[in-house]
Amino acid sequence: MIEVQSIDHLVLTVADVEATCAFYGRVLGMRAVSFGEGRRALAFGRQKINLHPHGREFEPKAKRPVPGSADLCLVTATPAAEILAHLAACGVAVEEGPVRRTGARGPIESVYLRDPDGNLVELGRYLG
Protein backbone atom coordinates (compact mmCIF):
# COMPACT_ATOMS: atom_id res chain seq x y z
CA MET A 1 0.00 0.00 0.00
CA ILE A 2 1.16 3.56 -0.72
CA GLU A 3 1.46 5.86 2.30
CA VAL A 4 0.64 9.46 1.31
CA GLN A 5 2.21 11.90 3.80
CA SER A 6 1.32 15.42 2.66
CA ILE A 7 0.57 17.70 -0.25
CA ASP A 8 3.64 19.22 -1.87
CA HIS A 9 1.87 21.39 -4.42
CA LEU A 10 -1.31 21.73 -6.39
CA VAL A 11 -2.04 23.42 -9.70
CA LEU A 12 -4.42 26.23 -10.54
CA THR A 13 -5.25 26.98 -14.15
CA VAL A 14 -5.62 30.76 -14.35
CA ALA A 15 -6.61 33.37 -16.91
CA ASP A 16 -3.79 35.77 -15.95
CA VAL A 17 -0.73 34.45 -14.09
CA GLU A 18 0.56 37.88 -13.07
CA ALA A 19 -2.86 39.03 -11.77
CA THR A 20 -3.08 35.82 -9.75
CA CYS A 21 0.40 36.35 -8.31
CA ALA A 22 -0.47 39.94 -7.40
CA PHE A 23 -3.74 38.94 -5.71
CA TYR A 24 -2.34 36.06 -3.65
CA GLY A 25 0.69 38.16 -2.69
CA ARG A 26 -1.30 41.24 -1.65
CA VAL A 27 -4.20 39.46 0.02
CA LEU A 28 -2.66 36.26 1.41
CA GLY A 29 1.04 37.10 1.68
CA MET A 30 2.19 34.34 -0.68
CA ARG A 31 5.49 34.72 -2.54
CA ALA A 32 5.47 34.56 -6.34
CA VAL A 33 8.35 32.37 -7.46
CA SER A 34 9.74 31.34 -10.83
CA PHE A 35 11.10 27.90 -11.62
CA GLY A 36 11.93 25.67 -14.56
CA GLU A 37 11.62 27.30 -17.95
CA GLY A 38 9.53 30.38 -17.14
CA ARG A 39 7.03 28.65 -14.87
CA ARG A 40 5.40 30.52 -11.96
CA ALA A 41 4.08 29.45 -8.58
CA LEU A 42 2.83 30.84 -5.28
CA ALA A 43 4.94 29.73 -2.32
CA PHE A 44 3.84 29.63 1.32
CA GLY A 45 5.16 27.55 4.21
CA ARG A 46 6.52 24.33 2.74
CA GLN A 47 3.98 24.20 -0.07
CA LYS A 48 3.32 25.89 -3.37
CA ILE A 49 0.57 26.40 -5.89
CA ASN A 50 1.84 26.03 -9.45
CA LEU A 51 0.10 28.29 -11.96
CA HIS A 52 -0.81 27.15 -15.46
CA PRO A 53 -1.91 29.81 -17.93
CA HIS A 54 -5.24 28.81 -19.46
CA GLY A 55 -4.77 27.50 -22.98
CA ARG A 56 -1.01 27.12 -22.43
CA GLU A 57 -1.02 24.51 -19.65
CA PHE A 58 2.04 22.41 -18.94
CA GLU A 59 1.93 18.66 -19.62
CA PRO A 60 0.73 16.52 -18.09
CA LYS A 61 -2.35 18.40 -16.99
CA ALA A 62 -5.87 17.86 -15.70
CA LYS A 63 -8.33 16.48 -18.23
CA ARG A 64 -10.41 19.70 -18.36
CA PRO A 65 -8.35 22.56 -16.88
CA VAL A 66 -10.35 25.78 -16.60
CA PRO A 67 -9.97 28.91 -14.49
CA GLY A 68 -12.36 29.17 -11.58
CA SER A 69 -12.93 25.46 -11.00
CA ALA A 70 -10.95 25.08 -7.75
CA ASP A 71 -12.20 25.04 -4.18
CA LEU A 72 -9.35 25.12 -1.66
CA CYS A 73 -8.98 25.45 2.07
CA LEU A 74 -5.86 27.16 3.41
CA VAL A 75 -5.01 26.87 7.11
CA THR A 76 -4.23 30.10 8.94
CA ALA A 77 -3.38 31.10 12.51
CA THR A 78 -5.09 34.49 12.01
CA PRO A 79 -8.38 35.01 13.89
CA ALA A 80 -11.49 35.55 11.75
CA ALA A 81 -11.94 39.17 12.91
CA GLU A 82 -8.45 40.03 11.65
CA ILE A 83 -9.06 38.20 8.39
CA LEU A 84 -12.28 40.17 7.84
CA ALA A 85 -10.55 43.49 8.57
CA HIS A 86 -7.66 42.65 6.23
CA LEU A 87 -9.97 41.55 3.41
CA ALA A 88 -11.99 44.76 3.79
CA ALA A 89 -8.78 46.83 3.66
CA CYS A 90 -7.79 44.97 0.48
CA GLY A 91 -11.22 45.52 -1.08
CA VAL A 92 -11.90 41.78 -1.23
CA ALA A 93 -15.51 40.66 -0.74
CA VAL A 94 -16.30 37.93 1.74
CA GLU A 95 -18.31 35.14 0.15
CA GLU A 96 -19.29 33.63 3.51
CA GLY A 97 -18.15 33.59 7.11
CA PRO A 98 -16.97 33.37 9.63
CA VAL A 99 -18.59 29.95 9.89
CA ARG A 100 -17.72 26.71 11.69
CA ARG A 101 -16.57 23.83 9.55
CA THR A 102 -14.68 20.56 9.98
CA GLY A 103 -11.10 20.43 8.73
CA ALA A 104 -8.84 17.41 8.34
CA ARG A 105 -7.74 17.68 11.99
CA GLY A 106 -10.96 18.88 13.61
CA PRO A 107 -13.17 21.97 13.99
CA ILE A 108 -12.20 25.15 12.18
CA GLU A 109 -13.61 28.63 11.81
CA SER A 110 -13.61 29.66 8.16
CA VAL A 111 -13.93 32.74 5.99
CA TYR A 112 -14.55 32.28 2.26
CA LEU A 113 -13.48 34.55 -0.59
CA ARG A 114 -12.95 34.31 -4.33
CA ASP A 115 -9.74 34.92 -6.25
CA PRO A 116 -9.62 36.78 -9.60
CA ASP A 117 -10.70 33.64 -11.50
CA GLY A 118 -13.60 32.90 -9.17
CA ASN A 119 -11.91 30.00 -7.36
CA LEU A 120 -13.36 29.57 -3.89
CA VAL A 121 -10.69 30.10 -1.23
CA GLU A 122 -11.46 29.07 2.35
CA LEU A 123 -9.27 30.47 5.09
CA GLY A 124 -9.65 28.12 8.07
CA ARG A 125 -8.33 28.52 11.60
CA TYR A 126 -8.33 25.46 13.85
CA LEU A 127 -10.27 25.90 17.08
CA GLY A 128 -9.19 24.71 20.50
What length is written for the chain?
128
Reading phi first (left if > 0) and then psi (alpha if -120 to 50, else beta), residue 90 is in: alpha
Q: Count Cβ atoms within 10 A of the Cβ of residue 49 and give its class: 0-12 exposed, 13-18 middle, 19 or more buried.
A: buried
Catalytic residue numbers? Answer: 122
